[in-house]
Chains A and B, each alone.
Chain A
Amino acid sequence: MARRVGEVVESTSTSFVAQCYQLEGAPALGGLVRTDSPDIYGVVGQVTTEPLDSARPVLARGEDADSEEDVIRDNPQLARLLTSRFEVYISGHVEDGVTRQYLPPRPPRVHSFVYLCSPEEVSKFTGRLDLLRLLLNSGAAHADEIVGACIRQAAPAHEQPDEFLMQACKTLAVELSGDVARLNSILRRVSP
């Protein structure tokens, strides 16, 4: 089952930002997430944990503590002063029951719930790989890292991970056929 991990707090045609329900509760980089009604899929990019109030920066507190856990235990208020958000690059949607790997007509509404996709859902959605093109052209600061992470994350969900990896890399190669240097850098991140 898909697990609910957060809620949309900012939304654009190409990406949205979700706030996590749990501090440090963001899905991994490259993970596949989905909103509900309408179903919009996306891949996790930048994850940020920061103070809720930017005027009150976080201070270091552990100088005298024995372990990092002690710091958290001794300052229970901290969890409420901090928040985690993650950026999601939209990579497809469901329209009339059909999964499309291109941008939806409208971005998800703010406050839409965000779910982390189950392995079955991941395997199904990444059965096609047009999303890689969307990610490569997303304009994200580290698009190549996101692409690499996405492929690595999705592979174990497939029955034959190695074949999926090769398939994905061949798709990348076609997309980046004019830029071998960039292609090479992504392939090296994916190579098992």
Chain B
Amino acid sequence: MTQSYESNGSEGNGHDNTGINSGHLASVQGLPLGMVVEGSVANGVEVRLDPGFSVEQVKVGTFVTIQGSNNRFFGVVTDASLGSSDPRMKYTPLPVDDPFVIQALQGTVAYGTISVLPQLTMPDVMGDEQGPAAAKSIPSHFSRAFTASQKDVETVFGSEENGNFWIGSPLDMETKLCLNLGELVKRSMGVFGKSGTGKTFLTRLLLAGILQSGEASSLIFDMHSEYGWQGQDADKGVSVKGLKQLFGAKVSTFTLDEEHSRRRGLSTDETVQLGFNHIEPEDIELLRETLNLSEVAASAAFNLREKYGEEDWLKEFLAAGRGGSLLELADELQVNAGALRALYNRMGRITRYGFLVEHSRVDISARIIEHLERGQHVVLEFGRYGDDLAAYILVSNLLTRRIHQKYVEAKESAMGGGGKEPRPLVIVIEEAHKFLSPSVASQTIFGIIARELRKYNVTLMVIDQRPSGIDSEVLSQVGTRFSCLLDNERDIEAVLSGTPGSRQLRSVLARLESKQQCLVFGHALPLPVVVRIREYGPKFYETVQGGGDSEAEKKRKVEELFGD
């Protein structure tokens, strides 16, 4: 069967092309699949499979090229279906145990079709200067469709040789699928998927790529302490290397919970202490949902700041509460006494965090920026506070606001000719919907960063298992999205919102493997692609170079110091 279809194919090639011999063509063009029989620009084209090609062989999400009469198209299989030329076939008793009859019917009366969404037109000549462009038409009737070859994939997504980062392979191919990290960090990105689908592993891989490429610095709010020194592979019961192990001095680890780090036998570079004076009413606003505070109660914080000033509002408020004068204070501020008491209770809980002191002169955000400016990457481990969402939100919001402020200042002064541009920064947060829910997205720093694009060289990398909880406007600014399996309809819809061809992608997304496979689409890619994510493990560690302690990097540094 396979044999007959291959010979079919080379015959076909002989007809419709330019005299390149078919052996060469196969490696460049992939295997012949079938022929375009109908379609539209809106819905893509239907390809009727050649008799020798079983519909079982073509998976949704695979890449296909279609040779039209004037263009070569590159697209993706969005659906596969069974067709019959005779609607009565399903009622006709057929000798299913006679392989001869069945073979005669297959591909003639009963055939497979695939739906292909043509998305790019390829340069006519391989290796042409001109790259692929968005397809604005569809191939004509009877155009031949082929599986995409390795060369096609490289032409479209870029190759590792040209400095792109290998993240995995496209569906059913061994080809390396690469990402242009420079493009990736230009816009915010999102890693989505339900629990256990491989978000953390993928994020670690992407961060390793970003670190290695030097395209940007990164600041990671590491909720569960899985990025810094090492992470856990719960499934296999082993630990995997974190960024610090791979990149050494390039990575600085900060911790909120020194004891936790010490218990794990790890030394961290800095221990974070924050003062009450660092907390602002905006932070409380953001914590409203998590702390179960009413709107009135949260906004009382603003009144308190008015009264006591930036530095001291929280300290004074707590003192007043302890002194039993909350009622008078409520009266004076003209806020509801119950609301003020609720605020007082919640603040009391927060201020018991071990990393908070009444007053701190150390500006941790400045310390972080120092590291970032040196080209280092910062991982902030939460230790035992990782399980406390309020602590996570409070700290990441508070620090990010300050860091962002400094980036804005640096960028503006650079634009005014004073000093150099700040290095691009990627800020990584988990449980993103807590920061970016519709009710808070407009006020929080993360909402602002997402919306202002990379005006100030800061972008976000959000990791979330419930993307439907993220404000839709913010989500639309997430340029590149990595989505592992999602099974909630609303989450799927949210992740795909604003994406062309989302109807077709929906079925792709709902059929991903349960782990280590993801649909990647958006800004950094010419078209959506299903990727089997590369194994994050010993083989990968070997490929990591440029870490502070790798040989090549050492040599480079020595040359830098003593060269010239």
Contacts and interface: CB of A to CB of B under 8 A. Distances in A.
Interface of A: 165-166, 169-170, 172-174, 176-181, 183-184, 187-188, 190-192
Contacts of B51: 170
> SS class of chain A's interface: helix, strand, loop or mixed?
helix
Contacts of B18: none
B125 to A, nearest CB: 37
16 contacts: A166-B103, A169-B104, A170-B51, A172-B104, A173-B108, A180-B84, A180-B88, A180-B89, A181-B88, A183-B105, A184-B92, A184-B95, A188-B95, A191-B98, A191-B100, A191-B101
Interface string B46-74: 00000100000000000000000000000
Nearest to A165: B100
A166 B105 CA distance: 10
List of 4 A-B pairs having minimum Cβ-Cβ separation, nearest first: A173-B108, A177-B85, A169-B104, A191-B100
B120 to A, nearest CB: 34
B109 interface: yes
A170 B104 CA distance: 5
Point out which of A180, A183, A191, A192 has the most chain B C-beta atoms below 10 A from its C-beta: A180
A107 B51 CA distance: 38
B86 A179 contact: yes
A3 B108 CA distance: 38
Interface string B96-113: 001011011101110000
B108 A170 contact: yes
B94 interface: yes
B86 A180 contact: yes
Contacts, number: 54
A173 to B, nearest CB: 3
A172 B105 CA distance: 10
Given A184-B94, A184-B101, 18 more contacts: A166-B104, A169-B100, A169-B101, A170-B104, A170-B108, A173-B108, A177-B108, A178-B85, A179-B86, A180-B84, A180-B86, A180-B89, A180-B105, A188-B95, A188-B98, A191-B95, A191-B98, A192-B100
A172 B98 CA distance: 17
A188 B101 contact: yes
Contacts of B98: 188, 191
B100 A173 contact: no
Nearest to A178: B86
Given A169-B100, A187-B100, A180 B108 contact: no
Contacts of B85: 177-178
Contacts of A178: 85-86
A79 B101 CA distance: 44
Contacts of B94: 180, 184
A180 B108 CA distance: 11
Interface string B466-481: 0000000000000000
Contacts of A181: 88, 92
Contacts of B88: 180-181
Nearest to B93: A184
A177 B109 contact: yes
A187 B104 CA distance: 8
Interface residues of B, number: 18
Given A180-B88, A180-B94, A174 B108 contact: yes
Contacts of B107: 170
Contacts of A188: 95, 98, 101
A183 B94 CA distance: 10
A189 B533 CA distance: 52
A173 B92 contact: no
Nearest to B85: A177
Nearest to B104: A169
Contacts of B89: 180
Given A177-B85, A178-B85, A191-B98, A183 B109 contact: yes
B538 to A, nearest CB: 51
Contacts of B101: 169, 184, 187-188, 191
B96 to A, nearest CB: 11
Contacts of A166: 100, 103-104
Interface in B78-136: 84-86, 88-89, 92, 94-95, 98, 100-101, 103-105, 107-109
Contacts of A191: 95, 98, 100-101
A171 B309 CA distance: 89
Nearest to B111: A177
Nearest to B102: A187
Nearest to A168: B104
Contacts of A190: 100
Nearest to B90: A180
Contacts of A173: 104-105, 108-109
A192 B98 CA distance: 10
A190 B101 CA distance: 9
A169 B105 CA distance: 8
Point out which of B51, B84, B89, B95 has the most chain A C-beta atoms below 10 A from its C-beta: B89
Contacts of A180: 84, 86, 88-89, 92, 94, 105, 109
A188 to B, nearest CB: 6
A36 B108 CA distance: 37
A133 B85 CA distance: 18
A170 B51 CA distance: 10
A159 to B, nearest CB: 16
A163 to B, nearest CB: 9
Contacts of B103: 166
Contacts of A183: 105, 109
A37 B203 CA distance: 82
A179 B95 CA distance: 16
A28 to B, nearest CB: 22
A190 to B, nearest CB: 8
A48 to B, nearest CB: 32
Nearest to A174: B108
A177 B87 CA distance: 10
A36 B84 CA distance: 44
Contacts of B86: 177-180
A188 B92 CA distance: 14
A155 to B, nearest CB: 12
